[in-house]
């Protein structure tokens, strides 16, 4: 028995309904992956800066050298999706005594490319922050 309705075009309509969802999921996964990668980069940059600052040297490493270490690491590894913005580095103080805490905090404004347009109220960027604390040698 023949159907009264034609099955032609059903696949095209189903694909048209599913395509936007697939595109959103694909770009969401890509942006989330880049966000997690950049979070790991600033975590490593904070660790590298703290490690550089605690090592015993004569004379001791100052705050500008610690900040330069963080920026060198971050600049070569971060993947910006728009105009590159350098991370903000905050160093508690350079090591002056044995077993003193050295705290290096790195903040990076991660700019969204696609997700900001899909989720209202998210904003155009998210501040990623990482902190590393090590004892001076």
Q: For residue range 4-62, what is the model confidence (pLDDT) as tens digits?
A: 666 678 888 888 999 989 988 898 899 899 999 999 999 999 999 999 999 877 788 88
Query: In angstroms, rounded to a whole number, what is the distance separating the alpha carbons of residues 16 and 7?
Result: 16
pLDDT at residue 120, as a whole number: 67
Which contiguous run of DSSP H or E holds residue 124? none
Which contiguous run of DSSP H or E holds residue 64? helix 63-77
**Strands 88-91 and 101-111: what pairing?**
antiparallel
Q: Is the pLDDT of residue 65 over 90?
A: yes
Structure tokens that stand for 92 in this block: 């508690």
Altogether, the residues listed in the chain come to a count of 137
Task: Tell me the angle at which helices 63-77 and 10-54 cross, rounded to the nearest 10 degrees.
Answer: 160
Planar angle of CA 65, 51, 40, nearest 5 degrees: 100
Q: Is the pLDDT of residue 100 over 90?
A: no
pLDDT at residue 5, as a whole number: 65
Peptide linkage before 7 cis (omega within 30 of 0): no
pLDDT at residue 116, as a whole number: 67
Query: In angstroms, rounded to a whole number, what is the distance separating the alpha carbons of residues 5 and 30?
Result: 41
Give domain limits for the chain.
Answer: 10-135
Tell me which of 6-10, 85-89, 100-104 is least confident: 6-10
pLDDT at residue 83, as a whole number: 82
């Amino acid at each position: 028995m023949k159907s009264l309705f034609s099955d032609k075009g059903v696949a095209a309509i189903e694909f048209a309904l599913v395509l936007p969802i697939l595109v959103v999921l694909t770009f969401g996964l890509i942006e989330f992956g880049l966000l997690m990668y950049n979070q790991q980069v600033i975590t490593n940059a904070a660790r590298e800066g703290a490690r550089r600052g605690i090592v015993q040297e004569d004379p001791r490493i100052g705050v500008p050298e610690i900040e330069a270490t963080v920026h060198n690491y971050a600049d070569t590894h971060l993947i910006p999706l728009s105009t590159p913005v350098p991370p903000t580095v905050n160093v508690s103080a350079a090591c002056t005594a044995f077993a003193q805490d050295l705290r290096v905090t790195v903040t990076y404004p991660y700019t969204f490319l696609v997700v900001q347009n899909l989720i209202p109220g998210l904003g155009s960027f998210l501040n990623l922050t990482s902190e590393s604390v090590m004892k001076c040698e």
